[in-house]
Every structure is written in C-alpha cells, then in structure tokens.
C-alpha cells in the first residue's frame, strides 16, 4: 500500500517528495458517462490529482434514505483508472454553489 505523509516542507509519497497538481471536478455535476473524458482532460493539462466535494443532501435526501451512495466510489475508481489521485471533500457543508451548501433540508428544517 502506498504511504502518504505530510513532511516538514513537502508532501511525501512512499518517503519521496511529491507535488499535487489538482483541479476540481464535481462528479455530481457531470453525467457519469462523461467522467472518463473529463478526467483524461485533467491529465492532459498536466494535473495528477482531482478534487471533489460530496453533497450530503444528494446522497441522503431523507433521514435514513440513501440514493446512489456508490457514485463517489465509481468516480474514484474512474480517477484511478485515469492515473489521478483524489482529494475528497465530504463536508458536511460544501459550499460549491450547491443548494443549502449540501446540507439536507430535513437537517436544517
């Protein structure tokens, strides 16, 4: 397994300094059939990492009611297949110009 650490001056991947060059791609805003193409575009721009939020209100629209929670896993698999690392930003508040910052309406009343 690969080991990622924060060193004194660098990020370290298996003990070697690594620079993360990242772009954002929100999997929930792009149809799944286009993920591979968009991720390949990130690689073509010289990036080695993709960043995405996880909108709570998309995956749990009602208390205990879950909707396509596997989408994030499929997106991360697609990122790996494209040769990208991933930074996952789960929130709970995601901003991202997303309704209620990603918080479910049932949580905030």
Q: How confident is the model at residue 44 (pLDDT cuts 50, 70, 90)?
A: very high
Query: In the chain, where are the structural domains located?
Result: 20-108
pLDDT tens readout for residues 64-98: 999 999 999 999 999 999 999 999 999 899 988 89
Six-digit token pair at 57? Answer: 């209100």
Cβ-contact 22, 49 below 8 angstroms: yes
* 49, β-bridge pairs: 22, 85
**pLDDT score at 1:** 85
**pLDDT score at 91:** 87
pLDDT tens readout for residues 51-71: 999 999 999 999 999 999 999
**pLDDT score at 45:** 98
Cβ-contact 96, 102 below 8 angstroms: yes
DSSP H helices, 1-109, are 35-44, 56-59, 71-81, 105-108
Six-digit token pair at 69? Answer: 């929670």
Enter the CATH code of domain 20-108. 3.30.750
pLDDT tens readout for residues 16-32: 999 999 999 999 999 99
Q: Residue 32: helix, strand or coil by DSSP?
A: helix
């Amino acid at each position: 397994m690969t080991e990622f650490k924060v060193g004194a001056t660098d990020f370290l991947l298996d003990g070697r300094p690594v620079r993360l060059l990242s772009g954002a791609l929100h999997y929930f805003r792009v149809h799944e059939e286009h993920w591979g193409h968009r991720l390949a575009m990130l690689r073509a721009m010289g990036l080695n990492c993709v960043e995405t939020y996880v909108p709570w209100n998309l995956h749990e629209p009602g208390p205990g009611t879950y909707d396509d929670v596997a989408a994030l896993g499929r997106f991360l698999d697609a990122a790996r297949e494209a040769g990208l690392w991933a930074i996952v930003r789960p929130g709970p508040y995601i901003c991202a110009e997303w309704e209620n910052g990603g918080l479910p309406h049932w949580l905030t009343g």
